Structure 1
Amino acid sequence: MFEIKDIPKLFLAFFIILPIISLIHESGHVFFARILGAKNIQIVVGTGKTITRKWFFEIRKYYFWYGFCYFDNIDESQRWRNILIYLGGSIFNIIAAFLMVYLVNTEWLEQGIFSYQFVYFSLYYVFFAFFPMKYPDGNFSDGKILLDLLKNNYSLINQKKYRLAWEKEQHLWKLYDNQKQEIKNFETLEEGLKKSVETAKRNRPSRLEIIKEKGLDEVKSFPRNPL
C-alpha cells in the first residue's frame, strides 16, 4: 500500500530515473541512425521551453516528460535501415536493464530502490514503445511504424512535400502540396512561412521548399521523430 514515506521514491522515479531511461532510449535511435549515415542529429529530452543545448543534446523545461530525436539523410525507402533505427531505442533500454541486473547480481552495485525502478521502468518503456498505437499529438509509437515497415507499408514514414511560392501575378504567397494543389495563400512571406512550417511539422515527415522570384531559395526538412 502506498504510504507517505513512499513519496520520495515517486519523485526519484519520475524526476531522475525516467529522464535517464528516456535519454538511453533516444540514444539507441541515434546510435543506429549515426552508424547508418544520418546527419544533423539531435536528441531532445523533455518538452516545453529549451533550457540548454550542448552539442547534439537539448534539454527542455519539463525534462521528465517525453523525449525524441531528429536526424536527416536516411531515405524513407530504405526499409531495413529504418527498422533498425526504430528498434534502436528499445534495444538500448533492454541492454541497460540487463546490465543493471548483472551489476546487482555480481555485487558491483547494491540492490535498492534505484536499481529496481531502473529495471522496471526500462521494461515499461520498451512495452509502450513496441505497443502499436497512435499518440494524441499525431505521432506514432515505434511499434506501429515497425509493424507497417514489416508489411512493406511506408505510409507513416514517406516524406510529404510542400512548396511555398511567390505568385507574382496575384501578389500572394501560396502553399502547395505534393499534387500542386493550393492549400492556403498569404499576403506576406512572414505569415506564409510561419503557417507553412506549422503545416509541415504537423504532417511529419515532410519537406518544405520556399520558392522566390529567382527560384528555390530554401529547403526545410521535418523528419518523423523516433520517440
Structure 2
Amino acid sequence: MFTLEDMWVFFLSLLVILPFITMVHQLGHAFFIWVFGGKSTFTIGTGKKLFNIGPMEFRRIYFWHSFCQIEKLKWDTKTAHVLILLGGTIFNILSVFVVNSMIVAGILPEHIIFYNFVYFTIYFVFFSLFPARFSEDHPSDLMAIYDLFKYGKGKDPID
C-alpha cells in the first residue's frame, strides 16, 4: 500500500531515476548515431536552458521530455535510421538486465529504488514503442520508424 512515507521514494524516482532513464535512452540513440559516423546533441528536459555538458543540454524542467538531434551521418541508410531510432529502447532494456543481474549477483540490494528504476524503464520503453505523435515534430520512436518507411528519411529530432 502507498502511504505518505513512500512519497520520498516517489519524488526520488520522478526527479532522479526518471531523468537518469531518459539519459540512458538518449545515450542509446547517440551511440548508434556515433556507430553510423554521425554526431549528435541531445536535450534533457524542457523550458529554459540551464547548462550543457558536452553534447548534452539540460533544461529547467529536466524530468519531462527529451530529444536527440542528428548531425549528418556517414552511413545514411534506412537500416542505420532504424537502429538509431531503436537505440534508446535497446539501451533501456539492457539497463534493466544489468540492474536485475546485479541484484541477483548480490551486488545491488533488493530495494524499492531499483524496482522503480525497472518500472519506470519499462514505462519509458512502452511509450517509446507506442506508435504516437507527442507533438507535430516529435513522434515516438516507433512512429518515426513508420514514417521512415512510409515517407522516406526520418525527421529530426528523435524522442
- TM-score band, normalised by shorter chain: over 0.9
Q: Which residue of the partner structure matches residue 170 of structure 1? A: none
> Is the 2:42–2:55 Cα contact (8 Å) retained in structure 1?
yes
* Counterparts in 2 of 1:133 and 1:64: CA distance versus 1, 3 Å: same
More displaced 10-residue stretch of structure 1: 69-78 or 91-100: 69-78
Structure with the larger RCO, 1 or 2 (CA within 8 Å, 6+ apart): 2
RMSD: 1.8
**In the TM superposition, what is the alpha-carbon distance from 1:76 to its structure 2 partner?**
10
Bigger strand share:
1
Distance 1:46 1:148 in 2: 24
Deviation at 1:74, TM superposition (A): 2.9
* Bigger proportion of residues as helix: 2
CA pair 76-97 structure 1, distance change in 2 beyond 3 A:
same
Residue 28 of structure 1 corresponds to 28
- The aligned counterpart of 1:153 is 150
How far apart in 2 are the matches of 1:67 and 1:77?
Answer: 23
Q: Give the structure with higher Rg (CA).
A: 1
Aligned to 1:14: 14
Asked if structure 1 preserves the Cα contact closer than 8 Å seen for 2:38 and 2:74, the reply is no
Q: Which runs of 5+ in 2 are unaligned?
A: none
> 1:42-121, aligned counterparts within 5 Å?
42-74=41-73, 78-121=77-120
Q: Secondary structure at the match of 1:67?
A: strand
Compute the displacement of 1:127 (Å). Answer: 0.7
CA shift, 1:77, in A, is 6.5
Aligned-residue offset at 1:90? 0.1
Q: Is the 8 A contact 1:76 1:82 kept in 2?
A: no
SS at structure 2 position matched to 1:108:
coil
TM-score normalised over the length of structure 1 = 0.66
Give the superposition deviation at 1:2: 2.7
1:146-189 deviation line (CA, Å, top 9, x unaligned): 2344xx323572xxxxxxxxxxxxxxxxxxxxxxxxxxxxxxxx
Q: Give every structure 1 segment of 4 or more consecutive aligned residues whose post-TM-superposition deviation is greater than 6 Å.
A: none
Aligned-residue offset at 1:55: 1.4
Q: Distance in 1 between matches of 2:76 and 2:58?
A: 31
Number of aligned pairs?
Answer: 159
Which blocks of at least 5 consecutive residues in structure 1 are unaligned?
158-204, 206-223
C-alpha distance in structure 2 between counterparts of 1:36 and 1:76, whole Å: 5
TM-score of the superposed pair, with normalisation by structure 2: 0.92
Q: Secondary structure at the match of 1:153?
A: helix
Q: Deviations over 1:22-47 (max 9, x none)?
A: 000000000000110113x2121111
DSSP 3-state at the match of 2:62: strand
Does the aligned pair in 2 maintain the 1:76–1:154 contact within 8 Å? no
SS at match of 1:61: strand
Q: Is the 8 A contact 2:37 2:74 kept in 1?
A: no
Structure 1 residues 65-114: Cα deviation after superposition (integer angstroms, max 9, x where no partner): 11111121138972101000000000000000110000000000111011
Corresponding residue for 1:122?
Answer: 121
